[in-house]
Each structure stands twice: as structure tokens, then as C-alpha cells.
């Protein structure tokens, strides 16, 4: 029998386990690049889950039947080594130090916050493990590893419990001891009905020459084992299997020297995702006699120089911590201004449970559905620019308000809905047809309210037009898309920050009354006004409108634990990016800007912050859309009722 192995640095260990379990078997270790030739004449192929989708089965294993392909788990377990990080830097290279791509999150934190090498030594005390919440990595690491084992058809809990009896069972987060790999390989072979040998000897571990990260005393004492701060890395020592010993002072000094030589500030997702934990290390820092004030010792995110001026603009992340994260099972709905449509596309592209209560009829082609404005929001309400519109929508859905205006005629004789004038481009033949469509839409809104777990609402405007008759508000002025302006029936309205906050609070109260578990993420659209009806410059009106919306969002987020604010507005309009995120019209947001917003949203709300290097988010550069969500924004259709204000409008001389 000839068995191929397609794996990472575990390949030699897997090959050794196979030859011990099946004496006489021929093992082929396929290279990571173009493995097809090596696997061509194999009878059986062991593929690590890390490369499963890349290798199986179309390109490299097409000659093998599905029964001849074995999926092996990719080992990653940080429980014994939670301080070990592998961080990708600008340009695609790993952050490197005395231990190669293995770095200490504690040392990186201390370096970035100006600690001396002597002060950094103080951070390596047993109590630091508790301050940093390192126990969380055992719990999460066990859950992820067992899930990977189960996904490969193994009894994950049984295997993990057995390994725990020989703790520690790995020399670093991604390097298990040989007996772990041998257990996995043996279990996989037996699950296929194969008879395997079980040698009692313990061979030299192929991975041990890659080095050993110590189990810190603060962690070791919890497992009744001996702890250490001795790192075994560096040049091989002749005649030994273990690499050179690096003491903690040497490791700190070497890391500082390597980091000082870097051309750019260090990027570290671990520190960005847990700033409140690493800020606790300040309690271990020796107090210096100084004239320090209350702002001394705050995290780097609190200081303009470190958080903004010294951060490359594509890497800026203004989110310190999110109140909650979104799970794949959560039903997520979006509503709001034009910019909210980017969030909807991002959620769908990331595979989340995006709620669409008014999907396109199955007989419509994708092109026809897009032309008819299906799928832009979670329901076909079109642009909901103001908080008053949101409140009005919920009240209408539950029969608490019925507007006098139900249908507006267009110039072509067709009729449209005053509250979503562009949602049906063809319009309707009669006013009665518009009302019937609106009733069906409001029923869908009720389904949305009662079934969604999270609502992402983007505030867009404070200016609107309202009915003098019943107070109804419209997304665009009468006469722009349809209907006719009547000074006796219609009036211009520009909401204050207090009015916006009051409308938001009232809308949230109605929503939570129908759905007590609902969570809300508020954002503010960065897109400037197309036009203003105030007797002042459009730039001044834009700044007022966005400021009022931002203040209202802050008030509501502070007052409700189920509401969070996400700074998409700040990411786009902040002058830290030198205006690079706007097109030449200074209004349309460029794909790079949208990608930056979605990358930060994904990092903090969608859980896209895996500590493995493979999950490191790519760095955005000017002129390109980077990040796992970027491709969905290129050329995507955006419905914007407000754009009508700039069409066929003749400015005064």
C-alpha cells in the first residue's frame, strides 16, 4: 500500500505514525505547492483539514475515490501556551523575533506601550495569567480542537481527555507531541476497519526540533506540573534534539531589538481584541517617581499619536470593544440609509444568517430581481433615512398609525408608495394596487420585527418633509419622485439631536415590546447630503446633520445595554485617511473605504479574529479593496432616494 500525506509541518510526524501503525507501508509526503504529482499513484491520501478545501478532491485527488481520502484535524491548542502569538504584518510577513514567528503577546504589549526591558520582566509573574484571562484560551481551545476532531469523524472528547492525562501534550500552540498525532492516525485507520500495530516504544519526536514554548508557572500550577520561562529555539545544538535555550531576559532583549528595527508599527490582533485585559498589566509595572496625572497609563487607543497619527490609515481600528458579537445562527436584519446596503452585502458574503422577509419571487432571474430592488434590505422598505421614519414604519406595521397619503401619482400616470417611491421601478396601475402592496409589505415588516435577533440601523439624515395633516414623514420631498408639493399640506423639517434620540428611543421601545431579546447596532452614514433645504451652505448642513445623528446614537447606546454604536462614519470621514475614501465628487464612498469599514465590522462583530496566521486579515492599500468582504462592494447596486434631489434640479443664479 502507498499512502500520501498532504499536511503542514506535521507531515513527518504523520508519516512516522503511519509506518509504525502499518509496517511495510510506503508513505509519500507531498509538498505544499503542487502536490498532485506526489499523490498521483497513492492508494490512500491523508489530508489535513487546513488544506481540505484546497486539495480535495477535484484538482489533486481526482483519481481517488472518496473512501480513499482521509481528513485529518489541524492541531491548534493554546491552552498551555496562551501567550504565544503569530501575527501577520504589512506585506504578508510574520512578526519575527528570537523564536522565529513565535512571539509573546506580553512582550509585544510592553514594547508598544513603552515599557523598558526590566519593567517587562515584571509582567512575567504568575498573577499575570489571571489578569490576562489566560484560562479562557483553555476553554475556547478545547472546544475548537474537539470540534475539529469530531468533524474528522473522531471521538474528540475521549481523545482530548486521554491527552490531558499526559499534560502538557503539545510543545507549542500548533505542535502536538508525537503521541497525539499517533493517537489521531491510529484512530483514523481503525475507523476504516484496518488492523494496526501499537508499538510500545517512544520514538524521537520530529516536531521537537522546531522548538518548545514553556508552560508558564502561573498556568503550570493549575495542572500540577512544573512551570518555566525557558524557551528552546535558535540554532541547533550538535548532538541534541532540542534547540538552544533562550532565557526570559534574552528573549525580551532579542524581541525588543527585533521590534525596534521594524519600519512600521507592530500590528497585533490579540492586543486589539482584548485591550481591557492587557491594560491590567499596568498593575505589575513598577511605579516611577514622576509627575504622572490621571491620563498616564491609559491604553494606546486613548492617545491620538499612538492610535491615529502613528497608525497607517488602512490599519486604523477605532473600536475598543464591542458590547456583543453576532453568531452564525443569529437572524440579522438591516435598515437605514444607502450605506446600510453595504452592511447587508457583507453579512451575506460572510455566510451569516441574513434576514430577508421579502425575497424575490422564484420566477425572477437574479438580474430582474436586482432591477426590481429585491435584497437591498431585509424588507422592501427602501431608504429609511431618519429615526422618525423608523418609528413611523414600526407604528404602521402594527396598526398604530395609518397615514392619509397612501399612494402618489407619477408623471407617467403610474402610482407609487410615498414611503418607498423607488422600490417598485415599474410603479402600479392604480392607487389601490399600491395600498395592497404596502399592506403586504407591512405584514413582512411584522415578521421581521418578531423573528430577527439583531437589527443594524444606519442613520442617514435629519432633514425631511412631513405632512401637515397627520405628521407622516417621507424619504424625499413630494414632487421629486412622485406626488406634488402643496405648501398647505407639506412642510420641511430638520430634526434636532434630542428629537432624533427621542424617536430612536420610542422606536426601540416598540421593537423590544414585540421582541424582548432584540439587539441593535447603530451606525451613522458617512455620505454627505445631496442637497439641503436650509438657507445655508450644504457643507454646514451636512456637518450639522451628521453631528446630530452621531450625538443621538451615542445617547441611545449609552442608555441601553442592548444597543451598540459602530463607527463607520468616523472610519470614512476621519481626516486620518486624507480624504482617500471619497471619490472625486467628495460624496461617493470608494470601495477601499467600504472594505475598511466592513473589515473592522467583521473583526469585532462577526468574530473574524482567529489567532491562527491563516486567518490574519490582509492589509488594505490605496487603490485596492482588501479584506475578506471587499469583493462584494465592487460594482454593487445601491438604492438611494436622496440622489433624486440632485437630478433635474436647477440651482439659483
DSSP for 313-380 reads GGG----S--S----TTS-EEEEESTTHHHHHHHHHHTT--B--SSPPPTTS-HHHHHHTTTTSSSSS
| 283-308 tens-digit pLDDT | 998 876 656 788 888 899 999 999 99
Name the nearest CA neighbour of 381 among 357, 414, 352: 357
Q: State if pTM tops 0.85.
A: no
pLDDT reported for residue 648: 54
Judge whether 577 and 597 are in contact, CB under 8 Å. no
| 483-504 tens-digit pLDDT | 999 999 999 999 999 999 999 9
Q: What mean pLDDT is reported for the chain?
A: 87
Report the alpha-carbon distance of residue 548 to residue 395 in Å, rounded: 24
Cβ count near 99 (within 10 Å) = 22
Report the alpha-carbon distance of residue 401 to residue 403 in Å, rounded: 6
Eight-state DSSP code of residue 266? P
pLDDT reported for residue 57: 44
Query: Over 50: is that where the pLDDT of 629 sits?
Result: no
Alpha-carbon torsion (315, 109, 142, 197), positive or negative: positive
In the CATH hierarchy, which fold is given to the domain comprising 2-72+174-208? Answer: Rossmann fold (3.40.50)
pLDDT reported for residue 47: 86
Going edge to edge, which strands form the sheet with 2-6?
A: 26-29, 2-6, 44-48, 69-72
| 531-568 tens-digit pLDDT | 999 999 999 999 999 999 999 999 999 999 999 999 99
Judge whether 102 and 211 are in contact, CB under 8 Å. yes
Report the alpha-carbon distance of residue 90 to residue 88 in Å, rounded: 7
State the pairing for strand pair 69-72/473-474: unpaired
Mean pLDDT of 440-461: 96
pLDDT reported for residue 638: 53
Q: What percent of the chain has pLDDT over 70?
A: 88
Domain spans of the chain?
2-72+174-208, 84-137+214-311, 332-644
Helix, strand, coil % in the chain, rounded to nearest 5 = 40, 15, 45
Q: Which helix (H) or strand (E) holds 251?
A: helix 248-260
State the pairing for strand pair 44-48/2-6: parallel
Residue 631: band (very low, low, confident or very high) from pLDDT cuts 50, 70, 90: very low
Report the alpha-carbon distance of residue 395 to residue 178 in Å, rounded: 64
Alpha-carbon torsion (413, 414, 417, 419), positive or negative: negative
Report the alpha-carbon distance of residue 633 to residue 333 in Å, rounded: 19
Report the alpha-carbon distance of residue 237 to residue 587 in Å, rounded: 62
Amino acid at each position: 500500500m502507498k499512502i500520501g500525506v498532504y499536511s503542514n509541518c506535521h507531515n513527518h510526524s504523520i508519516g512516522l505514525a503511519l509506518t509504525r501503525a502499518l509496517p511495510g507501508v510506503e508513505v509519500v509526503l507531498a509538498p505544499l505547492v503542487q502536490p498532485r504529482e506526489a499523490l498521483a499513484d497513492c492508494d490512500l491520501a491523508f489530508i489535513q483539514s487546513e488544506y481540505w478545501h484546497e486539495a480535495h478532491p477535484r484538482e489533486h485527488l481526482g483519481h481517488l475515490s472518496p473512501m480513499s481520502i482521509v481528513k485529518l484535524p489541524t492541531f491548534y491548542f493554546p491552552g498551555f501556551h496562551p501567550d504565544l502569538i503569530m501575527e501577520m504584518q504589512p506585506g504578508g510577513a510574520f512578526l519575527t523575533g528570537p523564536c522565529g514567528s513565535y512571539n509573546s503577546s506580553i512582550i509585544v504589549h510592553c514594547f508598544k506601550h513603552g515599557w523598558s526591558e526590566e519593567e517587562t520582566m515584571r509582567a512575567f509573574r504568575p498573577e499575570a495569567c489571571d489578569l490576562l484571562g489566560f484560562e479562557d484560551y483553555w476553554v475556547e481551545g478545547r472546544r475548537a480542537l474537539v470540534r475539529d476532531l469530531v468533524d474528522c469523524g473522531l471521538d474528540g472528547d475521549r481523545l482530548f481527555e486521554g491527552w490531558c492525562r499526559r499534560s502538557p501534550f503539545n510543545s507549542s500552540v500548533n505542535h502536538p507531541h508525537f503521541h497525539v498525532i499517533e493517537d489521531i492516525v491510529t484512530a483514523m485507520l481503525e475507523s476504516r476497519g484496518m488492523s494496526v500495530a501499537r508499538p510500545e516504544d517512544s520514538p524521537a519526536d520530529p516536531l521537537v526540533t522546531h522548538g518548545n514554548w514553556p508552560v508558564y508557572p502561573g498556568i503550570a500550577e493549575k495542572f500540577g506540573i512544573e512551570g518555566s520561562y525557558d524557551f528552546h529555539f535558535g540554532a541547533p545544538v550538535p548532538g541534541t534534539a532540542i534547540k538552544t535555550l533562550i532565557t526570559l531576559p534574552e528573549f525580551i532583549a532579542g524581541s525588543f531589538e527585533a521590534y525596534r528595527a521594524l519600519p512600521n508599527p507592530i500590528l497585533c490582533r490579540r492586543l486589539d481584541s482584548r485591550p481591557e485585559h492587557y491594560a491590567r498589566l499596568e498593575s505589575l509595572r513598577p511605579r516611577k517617581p514622576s509627575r504622572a496625572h490621571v491620563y498616564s497609563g491609559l491604553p494606546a487607543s486613548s492617545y491620538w499619536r499612538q492610535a491615529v497619527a502613528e497608525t497607517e490609515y488602512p490599519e486604523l481600528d477605532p473600536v475598543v470593544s464591542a458590547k456583543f458579537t453576532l453568531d452564525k445562527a443569529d437572524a440579522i436584519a438591516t435598515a437605514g440609509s444607502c450605506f446600510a446596503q453595504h452592511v447587508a452585502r457583507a453579512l451575506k458574503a460572510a455566510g451569516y444568517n441574513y434576514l430577508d422577509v421579502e425575497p424575490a419571487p422564484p420566477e425572477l432571474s437574479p438580474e430582474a430581481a436586482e432591477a426590481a430592488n429585491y435584497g437591498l434590505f431585509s424588507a422592501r422598505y427602501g431608504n429609511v433615512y431618519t429615526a422618525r421614519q423608523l418609528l413611523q414604519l414600526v407604528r404602521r406595521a402594527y396598526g398604530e398609525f395609518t397615514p392619509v397619503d397612501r399612494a402618489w401619482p407619477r408623471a407617467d400616470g403610474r402610482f407609487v408608495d410615498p414611503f418607498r417611491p423607488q422600490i417598485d421601478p415599474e410603479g402600479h396601475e392604480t392607487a389601490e394596487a399600491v395600498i395592497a402592496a404596502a399592506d403586504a409589505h407591512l405584514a413582512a415588516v411584522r415578521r421581521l420585527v418578531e423573528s430577527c435577533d439583531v437589527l443594524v440601523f444606519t442613520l442617514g439624515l435629519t432633514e425631511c418633509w412631513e405632512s401637515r395633516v397627520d405628521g407622516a414623514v417621507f424619504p424625499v420631498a413630494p414632487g421629486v419622485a412622485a406626488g406634488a408639493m402643496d405648501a398647505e399640506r407639506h412642510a420641511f423639517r430638520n430634526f434636532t439631536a434630542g428629537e432624533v434620540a427621542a424617536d430612536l428611543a420610542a422606536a426601540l421601545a416598540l421593537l423590544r415590546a414585540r421582541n424582548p431579546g432584540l439587539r441593535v447596532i447603530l451606525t451613522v452614514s458617512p455620505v454627505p447630503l445631496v442637497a439641503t433645504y436650509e438657507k445655508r451652505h450644504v457643507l454646514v448642513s451636512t456637518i450639522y446633520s451628521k453631528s446630530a445623528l452621531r450625538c443621538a446614537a451615542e445617547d441611545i447606546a449609552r442608555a441601553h445595554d442592548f444597543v451598540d454604536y459602530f463607527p463607520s462614519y468616523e472610519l470614512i470621514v476621519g481626516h486620518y485617511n486624507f480624504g482617500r475614501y471619497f471619490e472625486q465628487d467628495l460624496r461617493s464612498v470608494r470601495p477601499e473605504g467600504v472594505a475598511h469599514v466592513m473589515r473592522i465590522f467583521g473583526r469585532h462583530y462577526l468574530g473574524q479574529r482567529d489567532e491562527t496566521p491563516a486567518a490574519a486579515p490582509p492589509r488594505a492599500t490605496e487603490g485596492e479593496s482588501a479584506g475578506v468582504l471587499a469583493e462584494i462592494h465592487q460594482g454593487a447596486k445601491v438604492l438611494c432616494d436622496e440622489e433624486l434631489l440632485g437630478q433635474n434640479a436647477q440651482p439659483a443664479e
